[in-house]
Chain A
């Protein structure tokens, strides 16, 4: 009896979470077929027709295909750079004592909550003088750097959970610094790296402020800017907004599903704890 109640409550809990997760996207999907009038006068009603007008409008108002591709390039590169740089840096910091270690940790902690508004002005000047204003490279650099503080602390904590003994035996076996890192530590740190990549993805995929401030044209602008095309204060078009959201989010979800199946499962298997 008790077992059954437990089982039931477990599935009930899972159902609640599932509902909370899928309800928003389902609502957005439904709203992407509604008219302006339907959206602004009833939140729960179903759309009167499943016409694709809003999708056509979404494509007409904003260059979302272009911005979507930009997003993929910029976010992809932003993730890779952060993961590689932080994996190396956090390893050195977690394992060794050296002169500037406290300074490094302090500096990174200081930038954890540095407000975007305060840093945009100096960044803008640097970027224009180095001619990386309005380039993908510029945004990639900003996003990679923005990812450093959080990723750094996540990786520190992951490295910390890997026993020292493993490296010691590697060194005794005659492996050098780099080999030890690459073939002993990195494989064990895969869950940490996957986590960092995921956090970085979510943080920069929706980043709006720098994408606006550090670009001026279509070459480097990303999806969050495209969504603003539908948001004019007295003349917004939420229907097109939601259609655009569905169009850009669908490939992302498919990518997530593939990632989860192929990569995350393999990345996160293998026991080291206990």
Chain B
């Protein structure tokens, strides 16, 4: 080795070492002492960051809270964790180790039950009891959904609904008349699908990767609209028997839809290419919730006039998915912090903020007392139409991400392709789901 090189390497080593050491010991303190004397510092792990659909709304919410009387003394200390997948991994670790943040946002995945059973989140029932006006904002179902062993742990901020978006232009081209509210039966929907196929148009948007979101919406609707028993099954938290006649029949119809009525990339595919098929006018009907509406106007995602081409209908039999959402929790142990955290959660559910959330992100108000301002009709007619049509639903039901165990959702996503290609029968598919449910 020549001396020049030796010097170069020594220099590089030296630089790296100094940089590293400076980096190691130059950290600011990590304790909770930031801010002036009597401020209450609330730690939050926020997953509404980056490209998350709620990023702007949540940054507004946290900012504006510190300007209210209740929040004037509060200072937030944020940890950002992009994606709910990463967020849930970390929250599970923190539940186990007992280091939960003061405000525990809820990223789904049965976190409420996990946190409540661990005893590391605060029982919020007394706060609800002490403020009847606040409690009155919520319907019983929403609160029940956030109750474990008789105690309320989560404050739900929205309701989740979904239905079908359809492309009016493609309906015209295939000569299919779109129903005003919904196809009366699944057979009517499938008959329309056949017409689309004849016209060379793919009728349905479906997927299977991640959690198989779109397919799950079809599946839930199929089960719930089979019969009264199906409706009940689809409104049950953690069902254990997946081999009921309704579920098996629905799986059979799902198999048909996956193999005949959707795009070739639906099997094994993620949500995004499927949404793009819909934006590009390659798919006639697409199940989803109101949070998709802002995308119809996004210049990056959809063609310029796409928003005007979209219509809305309910699932056949006037079915609509509607579930309470898992609410945000309080992980603080210090009484002052618990009070401040509850104050924030109250603030996040004020009527004004529910409307704000609806306008900014399409999150549906959790409270039925929220009246939609007329301005919305002009600025976002599609969103207003959602609110109108949801009142016409005759059957409402949940969907698997709200009601199933994590590993059953995973089995659903993993075995959909097997079902689609006929490697397993609908019966075997349902047996696989049941097998997974038993592991819990």
Give the contacts of B235-275 with A (CB-CB under 8 A): 271-273, 275
Complex contact A133–B81 (CB within 8 A): no
B84 at the interface (CB under 8 A from A): yes
Q: How large is the interface on A (under 10, 10 to 19, 20 to 34, 35 or more residues)?
A: 35 or more
Residue of A at shortest CB range from B43? A216
Q: How large is the interface on B (under 10, 10 to 19, 20 to 34, 35 or more residues)?
A: 35 or more
Given contacts A37-B300, A40-B275, A235-B52, contact A73 B23 (CB under 8 A): yes
Complex contact A80–B13 (CB within 8 A): yes
Quote the shortest CB–CB distance from A53 to chain B (angstroms).
9
Residues in B whose Cβ lies below 8 Å from that of A237? 51
Give the contacts of B144-171 with A (CB-CB under 8 A): none
Complex contact A212–B89 (CB within 8 A): yes
Give the contacts of B83-133 with A (CB-CB under 8 A): 83-86, 89-90, 93, 96-97, 99
The distance in angstroms between the C-alpha atoms of A40 and B23, with both chains bound, is 40
Given contacts A228-B50, A234-B53, contact A37 B24 (CB under 8 A): no
Given contacts A80-B17, A235-B52, contact A136 B302 (CB under 8 A): no
Complex contact A229–B82 (CB within 8 A): yes
A131 at the interface (CB under 8 A from B): yes
* Number of A-B residue pairs at CB separation under 8 A: 138
Residues in B whose Cβ lies below 8 Å from that of A232? 50-53, 82-84
Checking B27, B97, B273 against A121 with a beta-carbon cut-off of 8 angstroms, the contacting residue is B97
Binds A, one of B1-9, B320-328, B373-381, B417-425: B1-9
Residues in B whose Cβ lies below 8 Å from that of A262? 5, 8
The distance in angstroms between the C-alpha atoms of A36 and B50, with both chains bound, is 15
A24 at the interface (CB under 8 A from B): no
Question: Which of B20, B25, B28, B51 is packed against the most chain A CB atoms within 10 Å?
Answer: B51
Give the contacts of B274-312 with A (CB-CB under 8 A): 275-277, 279-280, 291-292, 298, 300-302
Complex contact A62–B89 (CB within 8 A): no
The distance in angstroms between the C-alpha atoms of A140 and B24, with both chains bound, is 9
Complex contact B271–A234 (CB within 8 A): yes
Residues in B whose Cβ lies below 8 Å from that of A5? none
A213 at the interface (CB under 8 A from B): yes
The distance in angstroms between the C-alpha atoms of A35 and B280, with both chains bound, is 13
Give 1 or 0 for each of A68-103: 1 = CB within 8 Å of chain B CB: 001011101100100000000000000000000000
Residues in B whose Cβ lies below 8 Å from that of A73? 19-20, 23-24
Quote the shortest CB–CB distance from A63 to chain B (angstroms).
9
Residues in A whose Cβ lies below 8 Å from that of B93? 120-121, 124, 213
Given contacts A187-B1, A212-B90, A234-B213, contact A40 B13 (CB under 8 A): no
Residues in B whose Cβ lies below 8 Å from that of A125? 97
The distance in angstroms between the C-alpha atoms of A187 and B1, with both chains bound, is 9
- In the assembled complex, 8 residue pairs joining A and B whose CB atoms fall closer than 8 Å, in A order, are A37-B276, A40-B275, A62-B82, A80-B13, A80-B16, A229-B51, A237-B51, A263-B8
